Amino acid sequence: QKEVEQNSGPLSVPEGAIASLNCTYSDRGSQSFFWYRQYSGKSPELIMFIYSNGDKEDGRFTAQLNKASQYVSLLIRDSQPSDSATYLCAVNKNSGGYQKVTFGIGTKLQVIP
């Protein structure tokens, strides 16, 4: 089982719809959770981070965390063609004093105009 699992996609949604991106993780000791957006050929850009169970909203983005189910998701409301990118889920745990971050393979999102 991979430490961080994401469906590679592509996930296609029409413009204006809600895009739902999902991520599961295997280590119950994981403490912090990050979502990065990566455009083709570019480096990852931090979108959101979440530490506590529940929802965290920032503009059109909502991160959801359920530690009991070991599941974290990212919702993008009113999806725009400019949201088309690969979304990386990253999970952090403290490992021997080092904050180890493990990345998923990313989900490719396509927003269709």
Partner 1 sequence: DGGITQSPKYLFRKEGQNVTLSCEQNLNHDAMYWYRQDPGQGLRLIYYSQIVNDFQKGDIAEGYSVSREKKESFPLTVTSAQKNPTAFYLCASSIIAGHPAQPQHFGDGTRLSIL
Contact residues: partner 1, CB under 8 A: 4, 8, 31-32, 34, 42-46, 49, 51, 88, 90, 92, 94, 98-106
Which of 72/79 has CB closer to partner 1? 72
Which of 79/104 has CB closer to partner 1? 104
Which of 79/85 has CB closer to partner 1? 85
Which of 46/112 has CB closer to partner 1? 46
Minimum CB distance to partner 1, residue 92 (Å): 4
Q: How are beta strands 32-38 and 71-76 bridged, if at all?
A: unpaired
Minimum CB distance to partner 1, residue 100 (Å): 8
Candidates 38, 6, 44, 9; CA nearest to 23 is 6
Q: Are 89 and 23 in contact (CB under 8 A)?
A: yes
Minimum CB distance to partner 1, residue 101 (Å): 6
Minimum CB distance to partner 1, residue 68 (Å): 18
- Extract long-range pairs of 26-30: CB within 8 Å, 24+ residues apart: 26/1, 26/2, 26/70, 27/3, 27/91, 27/93, 28/67, 28/70, 29/93, 29/94, 30/70, 30/91, 30/92, 30/93
